[in-house]
Amino acid sequence: MCDTCGCHISDGTNENIVEVHQSLLAANREQAEKNRHHIESMGAVAINMISSPGSGKTTLLEHTLDRIGDKLKIGVIEGDIETERDADRIRKKGVPVVQLTTGGACHLDAPLVHKGLHAIEDQADAGKFDLIFIENVGNLVCPATFDLGEHVRIILVSVPEGSDKPAKYPTTFNGADIFMITKVDLLSYFDFSVEEAEKEALRLNPGLKILQVGAPSGLGMDDWIFYLKELIIKDR
Amino acid sequence: MCDTCGCHISDGTNENIVEVHQSLLAANREQAEKNRHHIESMGAVAINMISSPGSGKTTLLEHTLDRIGDKLKIGVIEGDIETERDADRIRKKGVPVVQLTTGGACHLDAPLVHKGLHAIEDQADAGKFDLIFIENVGNLVCPATFDLGEHVRIILVSVPEGSDKPAKYPTTFNGADIFMITKVDLLSYFDFSVEEAEKEALRLNPGLKILQVGAPSGLGMDDWIFYLKELIIKDR
C-alpha cells in the first residue's frame, strides 16, 4: 500500500500504483531540495503549516503579521484547492503573497511551491526575505507526505477538533517540528484534554515543540513570536 | 491532472498516473455498485458521512443512537487511518459496529466497506438493518471521489471551521445530498455566516438539503431524526 492519500484501493487492484507513486514522491523530494536551496538563497527560513480546514492557519498568519510584519521581511505562499480567499486576507497586511490553487489535489507539492517562490520573489525588495510561510491545503493527511523544501513543519489542531487527533493522525505528527494547539481561549467550552493531546503527540514524536495559542485574544502569541525570532537568529 | 488527492505532482512528472488512477476509480465504482446491492439485500439504506477531522461525526452518531438506536436496526462502519477509538465510542451504544483502519489512506474505499458490511452483518439478527452509517476518515477532500455504495452522502461542517468551506471544497459539496452545519449552539462565539455557507453550498449544488444541528444540546436533532425516518419509509 502506498503511504499517502488516494493512491490505491484496498483490494490491491492496481499493483503498479505503488511503483508510480514512489517515483512521484522521488520527483517531489528532488524538487523540494532545490526549493530549500532557493529559499536559503533568498535569505529566508520557510515554515510549512499543516492542519485540518478551519484550524486557524490564516488567522494565525494575520495576527503574526500584525505583530512582526513591519519588522521582518515576510512572504506568504497560500495553498488551496480553489479560491483566492486566503491570499486576499493576507494581502491586506501588505506583505508579498501568492495564492496557489491545486485544482483538486489535497496538498501542495514541491513543483507548485517552486512557482510560488518565484511569484513572491518578484514582489519583494531585491527578492530577500527573513521568513516564508507556506500555508498548505486544509488537510491533516495528504500534506504530510510531501516535502515542500521547508525548514520547519508546524501542525495545528484547534480545540474544537478534539484532543484525539495526534493518535488518529500519527504520520502527520511524526514528521512535524512544532505542534500548535489553536483556539485555546475556547478550552472551557469543549471537552479537549491538553494533557492527552500533548502526551500522545510527544509519544509519537518526542522532539516536538508544543505551543498553545489563541491568536485573536493574543494568548500564547508572545511565545510564538519569540520562537520565530529565535529561528531567524539561529539561521544567521 | 487526476481529480482526487495525492495522485500527481503538479509538473506532470508522471503522465501514467492519470491512467492508473482512472482504472483504480473504475474498480472502486464497480465494487461500490455491488455494495449498494448488498446493502439493499440487508434491507438497509446507507449514509456516507464526510467531514474534516473533529467536525462532530461520531458525536452526531452517538446522539442519533441515543434517540433511535433502540427503535431502528442500525449498524455503523467506522473509518479511520489508525485507532479503534470511534468504534469504541459507538460500541457503548449497543449497536453492531466495525472499525476499518486504512493504514495511511485518507478515505474509505468500496472494497474496504465491503469487508465492513460483512462484519456488521455477522453481529446482527438475521443480518438485517434499517440504517447503516459509514463514518468516513476525517477529510474534506479525498473521500469525495470514492463511491462506497451509499444511498445518501452527507457533508458536515462545524461552526468553528468557518463559513468559507463550501467555496473552498466545491467537489465535496457537488457530490453530496445533505449539508449539515454542526455545533450551531456555538454560533455566537464564532465569525460564521450561516447565510454565506448555505448560499455557496446551494450555488454549487442546488439540490442539497441543509440541516443545522448542535447534537449535544439537541438543537436541530428533531429535523435530523425526522429526515432519517422519512428516508427509511421512502425506501420501503
- The ipTM assigned to this model is 0.86
Instruction: Name the pLDDT band for A104 (thresholds 50, 70, 90).
Output: confident
* b/e per residue B140-174 (b: at least 16 CB within 10 A): bbbbbbbbbbbbbbbbbbbbbbbbbbbbbbbbbbe
Mean pLDDT of B111-137: 95
Mean pLDDT of A172-201: 96
Separation in Å, CA A220 to CA A117, A215, A227, B165: 29, 8, 11, 27
Give the distance from residue B80's alpha carbon to the nearest chain A alpha carbon, in angstroms.
Answer: 7
Helices within A42-125 (DSSP H only)? 57-68, 85-91, 110-121
Return the minimum-mean-pLDDT range out of A216-220, B70-74, B122-126.
B122-126
pLDDT value of position B48: 98
Q: Answer with the residue of higher pLDDT: A2 or B140.
A: B140
Asked whether residue B116 carries a pLDDT value surpassing 80, the answer given is yes
Instruction: Name the pLDDT band for A1 (thresholds 50, 70, 90).
Output: very low
Q: What is the tens place of the pLDDT at every residue in A203-220?
A: 999 999 999 999 999 999
Instruction: Name the pLDDT band for B177 (thresholds 50, 70, 90).
Output: very high
pLDDT value of position B22: 82
Task: Write down the pTM of the prediction.
Answer: 0.91
Contact (CB<8Å) A31/B11: yes
Domain ranges of chain B: 16-235
Mean pLDDT of A130-138: 97
Domain B16-235 class in CATH: alpha beta
Q: What is the tens place of the pLDDT at every residue in B188-216?
A: 999 999 999 999 999 999 999 999 999 99
Contact (CB<8Å) B109/A10: yes
Residues on chain B touching A162 (C-beta within 8 angstroms): 53-54
Separation in Å, CA B13 to CA A194, B6, B198: 42, 13, 39
- Comparing alpha-carbon positions, the chain A residue that sits nearest to B25 is A9
Residues on chain B touching A82 (C-beta within 8 angstroms): 167-170
Cα gap B59→B224, rounded to integer Å: 14
Q: What is the tens place of the pLDDT at every residue in A49-84?
A: 999 999 999 999 999 999 999 999 999 999 999 999
Residues on chain A touching B83 (C-beta within 8 angstroms): 164, 167-168
Q: What is the tens place of the pLDDT at every residue in B126-170?
A: 889 999 999 999 999 999 999 999 999 999 999 999 999 999 999
Asked whether residue B12 carries a pLDDT value surpassing 80, the answer given is no
- The number of helix segments (H) and strand segments (E) in chain B equals 8, 7
**What's the CA angle centered on B59, arms B34 and B77, to 5 degrees?**
20
Contact (CB<8Å) A168/B85: yes
Contact (CB<8Å) B9/A110: yes
Give the distance from residue A40's alpha carbon to the nearest chain B alpha carbon, in angstroms.
Answer: 22
Instruction: Name the pLDDT band for B5 (thresholds 50, 70, 90).
Output: low
